[in-house]
Structure 1
Amino acid sequence: MARVGEASSTDKSARTTAQIEADISRTRTQLAATLDELAVRVHPTTISAQVKAKAVAAVEEKAGRAYVAASGLVEQARAQFVDEKGQPRKERIVPAALVGVGLVLLVASARKRRKG
């Protein structure tokens, strides 16, 4: 049994010059690959692409949420003018249509006054 501080036959001091050179070469290759990867990560093009991808994802998420909310509102509005069988509710459609026509006439008359 080897004592502390003594070299054994499997210790690194027993390696050959070729083994040491191979280790150095392997370490250089690994270091070069690591440096290349770091260079790509900090390159302005890479950073801007990552920022752009995050922004696009955030916008798409917000748009998806807005679409779901708008769909819910449309469905609620539709439910006000259509009964459970899908038939139009004339008692609600006619007053809403009259209000719409009144607004159009009001806007048209306001424009006519400005021009004239």
Structure 2
Amino acid sequence: MSQPTDQTPGVDEIEADIARTREQLATTVDELTGRLDVKSRVKGRVEQTKQDAARRVHVARDKATDPDGRPTPPAIAGAVAAVALVALVVWWRRRR
């Protein structure tokens, strides 16, 4: 057998390189698996959307009520305007 020289890698170096390559391959496979798992991605997106909606409802509720929990005048005006608009549309559609 020939003696290893400075230019030829030793057994330990080759084994370390194989271990690094396996680690990189495992990481790549895990990333691809995550990208291809549509069901879990959809569940994550649904959960994120629910959290966003809950946050927005909380912000809107805070804006529409005073510190005592009573509706603010702009909120009351908006509600009255919405009811009036719905009543107008119903009335208009029945006339046709």
Kindly indicate whether structure 1 or structure 2 has the higher relative contact order, using CA contacts under 8 Å at least 6 residues apart: 2
**Contact persistence 1:81–1:92 (CA under 8 A):** yes
Which of 58, 81, 93 matches 1:111?
A: 93
Q: TM-score, normalised by structure 1?
A: 0.45
Which residues of structure 1 form unaligned runs of 5+? 5-49
For normalisation by structure 2, the TM-score amounts to: 0.53
1:71 and 2:36 are equivalent in the alignment: no
**Alignment partner of 2:45 out of 40, 47, 62:** 62
- Residue-pair matches, total: 63
Which is higher, the Rg of structure 1 or of structure 2?
A: 1
Tell me by how many angstroms 1:113 deviates: 3.5
Aligned-pair distance for 1:83? Answer: 2.1
Task: For residue 103 of structure 1, report the CA deviation from its aligned partner.
Answer: 1.7
Q: Unaligned stretches of 5+ in structure 2?
A: 2-32
